[in-house]
Structure 1
Amino acid sequence: MKLLLPRWFAHRGGGSLAPENTLSGIRLAARLGYRAVEFDVMLSADGTPFLIHDETLTRTTNGQGRVCDTPDRILLTLDAGQGEPLPTLAQAAALCRELGLLANVEIKPATGFERQTAEIVARQCAELWQGAEIPPLISSFSMTALAIARDLAPAMPRGLLFDRVPADWRQRMSDLQGVTLHCNAAHVADEVVLEANAHGIPVLCYTVNRPAQAEMLLASGVSAFFTDRLDLFVETSAYKALQLGG
Structure 2
Amino acid sequence: MTDLAPWPYPRWIAHRGAGKLAPENTLSAFRLGARHGYRMFECDAKLSRDGVLFLMHDTDLQRTTNARGTGGDRTMGELAQLDAGSWHSRAYAGEPLPTLEALVRWCLANHLCLNVEIKPTPGQEAATGRAVGELLGALWPQDAVPPLLSSFQPASLAGARDTAPRLPRALLADRLADAAGDVDLCTALKLGCIAMVLNHALWNTPLVAKMHGAGLRCASYTVNDERAARHLIALGTDSIITDRVDLFAPGD
For the criterion TM > 0.5, the same-fold answer is yes
For the residues of structure 1 that align with 2:112 and 2:47, how far apart are their CA atoms?
Answer: 23
Unmatched tracts of structure 2, length 5 or more: 86-91
- In the alignment, structure 1 residue 103 sits paired with structure 2 residue 120: no
Query: Match of 1:192?
Result: 207
For 1:174 and 1:214, the matched residues in 2 are separated by 27
From the superposition, tell whether residues 110 and 220 of structure 1 become closer, same or farther in structure 2 (CA, over 3 Å). same
- Pair 1:134-2:138 in alignment: no
Residue identity in the other structure for 1:134: V
**Runs of 4+ residues over 3 Å off in structure 1:** none
Which sections of structure 1, spanning at least 5 residues, go unmatched? none
**Alignment partner for residue 125 of structure 1, among 103, 116, 136?**
136
User: Retained in 2: the 8 A contact 1:138–1:159?
Assistant: yes
Q: How many residues align?
A: 237
- Quote the Cα distance in structure 2 between the aligned partners of 1:67 and 1:173: 29
Alpha-carbon RMSD: 1.5
What is aligned with 1:170? 185
- The percentage of counterpart residues that share the same residue type is 44
Structure having the larger proportion of residues in helix: 1
For each residue in 1:87-135, what CA deviation from the matched residue of structure 2 results, as whole angstroms up to 9, or x when unmatched? 1011000011112111000101111111221111111110121335121
The Cα of 1:14 is off from its aligned counterpart by 1.2
Partner Cα distance (1:127, 1:3) in 2: 22
What TM-score do the two structures reach when normalised by structure 1?
0.92
SS in 2 for 1:182: strand
Equivalent residue for 1:71, pick from 75, 99, 110: 75
Asked whether 1:25 is paired with 2:25, we answer no
What's the TM-score, normalizing by structure 2?
0.89
The answer on 1:112 being equivalent to 2:123 is: yes
- Aligned-partner Cα distance in 2 for 1:53–1:132: 29
CA distance in 2, matches of 1:65, 1:36: 31
Distance across 2 between alignment mates of 1:63 and 1:31: 30
2:95, 2:139 → 1: CA distance?
Answer: 22
SS at match of 1:55: coil
Q: Distance in 1 between matches of 2:204 and 2:153?
A: 21
